[in-house]
Amino acid sequence: MLLAYFNEMRLKDYSSSTVRMALMAVRLYLKLIENEEFDNSLLKEIKREHKLPDVLSKSEVQSILENITNLKHKAIVSLIYSCGLRVSECLNLKVNDIDSDRMLIKIVQSKGAKDRYIPASGKLLKLLREYWTAYKPFEFLFSGQKSPKYSAKSIQTIVKRAAKNARIKKKVTPHTLRHSFATHLLEQGADIRIIQEILGHKDIRTTQIYTHISSANIQSVKNPLDDILE
C-alpha cells in the first residue's frame, strides 16, 4: 500500500529525494507513535537520482564577474569561485583566515568538522586587499549591515542577478561556481586527489563526479562519424 502511494508521488514528478524524505517521515511516525516496524526495503525501491550538476564555462564565470559592480559583492563571488567554497564556508571566513604571505586561505571546522587550507590566487588576494581597504572588516571577512556575518540569501541573490544580467540561461547558484571551479581544475590537469583536498570531500567518489562533466575528458574521445562523413 505504501509503495503504491509513493510510486504515485513519483508519477506526479516528485523527486526521488522528496519521496525518500516522506518515507523516512512515515518510518519515524510508525516507530515513535504507533510502535510499529517499518519495512526498510521500501527505501531501496525508491532509488536515488544521480544528476550531473550544471557547470559554467570560464567565459561564463567571467561574464558573471563583469556584471557585478559592487566591490564587496565581486569579492564574495570571486572568492567562492576561486576557492570552490560552500556558501557557509564563505560566510564563516574570518579576516585572520587569510594568509597573504603563504597565499593560503584556512577553512575552519567546515563540513565533517575538519580544517583545511586552500591555495589563493594572486588576483584574488589583490581584490581582497582592495575590499579590506574599502570596508575594513573586523572579525568576519564579510559582515551584514545589521549582523556580524553576511547572509546566504544575499549571496544567492547576487549570483542569480549577475547571471541574469550576463544572459546565462543555465540555472546558476553559488554552488554552481563551486562545481565549475572543480571542473575547471580537472580540465587544467589537476590531480583528482588534490581537487578532493581543496573541496574538502571526505570520499573521493564525490570528487570523481567531475570526471563525468569535464569537457576535456569528453572531447578527447574521437567521434566515429568523423571517419564516415567526408
Catalytic residues: 86, 111, 175, 178, 201, 210
Q: Are 57 and 168 in contact (CB under 8 A)?
A: no
Q: Nearest 5°: CA angle at 118, between 161 and 142?
A: 45
- The rounded distance, in Å, linking the Cα atoms of 24 and 39 is 11
Rounded CA separation 159/61 (Å): 10
Kindly give, in sequence order, each residue whose CB lies less than 8 Å from that of residue 102, ignoring residues fewer than 6 positions away.
Answer: none
Cell 587544467 belongs to: 188
